Structure 1
Amino acid sequence: MGEVCTRHVAVAVHAFDPISYVGITGLFRDRPEIRLVTDNDVPDAEVIVVVAAGVDSEVLAQLRNLARRTTARLLLVVDELRESDLLSVVECGLAGVIPRSEATAQRLASSVLAAAQGRGQLPDDLLGALLRQVNRLQREVLTPRGLTVSGLDPREVDVLRLLAEGFGTADIAEKLAYSERTVKNIVHNVLNRLGLRNRPHAVAWAVREGLI
């Protein structure tokens, strides 16, 4: 029988105190699926595990900095996460949050592998809190301004959906009871605001974001 090829995920650990760093890296060292990399090799990391006691301005700045510097997926291991901070950390592009009390070697390894595969992980209570915050944001901030969480208004979503179905400007105008000029203006505004190149690019973006 041939040897089984094991996937090794390159992982970097960022901790705000040396004891946490030693503790988390120690949990990874005996995991054959994990390959630890040093700070100097962060650009090579597929997943970066950030360890913190809580979430404050320093932690948020570190998360944003890592998100800008690398393409790695970010996991946050945290002692305490206030519901009011949840949306802020999600906006930093986190792939998952792990309570420190649940950060066993097995849990960390499975979360790293899930993140490397593009999957996110959030404890049920935090997921519920996040959904409440998104609903509140939609209800109190976006809806009064005619927007959705995606940053698009309902008219823009309707136009993109019809573009994805292959309809041209005249057909879209007829279906939505708009003038052709209005349809063109809607598409133009979406392209400019989101930095998209053309209509196919806009459709691809909307599909990728799960809007259509």
Structure 2
Amino acid sequence: METTTTLLVADDHAVVREGIRSLLRLAPGFAVVAEADDGEDAVAMARLHAPDVVLLDLMMPGIGGVAATRGIRAASPRSHIMVLTSSDDEELAFAAIEAGAQSFLPKSTRGEALLQAIRHAAVGESTLHPSIARRILNSMQRPRRPAADPFAELTERELDVLRRLAEGGSNARIAASLSISEKTVKAHLSNLMSKLRVTDRTQAVAFAWREGLMRGKD
């Protein structure tokens, strides 16, 4: 009897999720057991369904794809995380791999190639598209910053906020855990992102993990 591969599809664009569902309907042996349109929901659905494969967009609302990758890895360790992305951000790609993504494909991947990658994922084999591999190699070979503390400019409170953000916390959860208002959380986030020279929450999370702020949290 043929084994069915269960999937979670996480993307904030409904048309992308529908396109993937339509593709999977054409091939036997696949079942989409859940969908998510933001990072928090992706982690929750992975915890609930423990799918064989998670198809995950990196550029999602909420905690973002990198933090969602780490959350899914913790919530459902058996799930193979396959990133599907339109981003050409090398650092973001590297951060996703560090966070636990096992396969990495651009959204321009043709249908049959995607199906083959999912089949490989179901038996524990990773797929890394050549263009993604080159970008990750470029990121790894780029000269790293000097050994100086990359978080030296942050206050203790900003560090607290960044740690909780990197652990997957929403503004509301961060505020509750630190006994401050959400408005204050937003102010701290704005300040720390300016100091770290990152432009959004996803980049801040990637920076925190990559630069060792969360060491020991795995």
Shift in Å, 1:13: 0.8
- SS of residue matched to 2:28: coil
Q: Contact 2:57 / 2:83 at 8 angstroms: preserved in 1?
A: yes
Alignment of 1:90 onto 2:97: yes
Of 6, 9, 30, which aligns to 2:5?
9
Structure of greater Rg: 1
Shift in Å, 1:57: 5.8
Within 5 A, what are the aligned runs for 1:1-212? 5-39=1-35, 42-51=48-57, 58-71=64-77, 72-104=79-111, 106-136=112-142
Quick check: which one's helix share is greater? 1
Name the aligned partner's letter for residue 91 of structure 1.
E
Q: Compute the TM-score of the two structures, normalised by the length of structure 1.
A: 0.55
Please name the residue that 1:165 is paired with.
Answer: none
- Change in Cα spacing, 1:85 to 1:55, as seen in structure 2 (3 Å) is farther
Please name the residue that 2:172 is paired with.
Answer: none
Q: How far apart in 1 are the matches of 2:118 and 2:34?
A: 16
The RMSD of aligned alpha carbons is: 3.0
Q: Compute the TM-score of the two structures, normalised by the length of structure 2.
A: 0.54
- SS of residue matched to 1:62: helix
Please name the residue that 2:175 is paired with.
Answer: none
Q: How far apart in 1 are the matches of 2:56 and 2:93?
A: 15
Q: How far apart in 2 are the matches of 1:12 and 1:57?
A: 17
Unmatched segments (≥5 aa) in structure 1: 143-192, 195-212
- Change in Cα spacing, 1:15 to 1:6, as seen in structure 2 (3 Å) is same
Q: Alpha-carbon deviations, 1:120-179, whole Å to 9, x = none?
A: 111112212323333447x7779xxxxxxxxxxxxxxxxxxxxxxxxxxxxxxxxxxxxx
- SS of residue matched to 1:7: coil
**How many percent identity over aligned positions?**
17
Please name the residue that 2:178 is paired with.
Answer: none
Bigger RCO of structures 1 and 2 (CA < 8 A, at least 6 apart)? 2
Unmatched segments (≥5 aa) in structure 2: 36-44, 148-214
- SS of residue matched to 1:101: coil
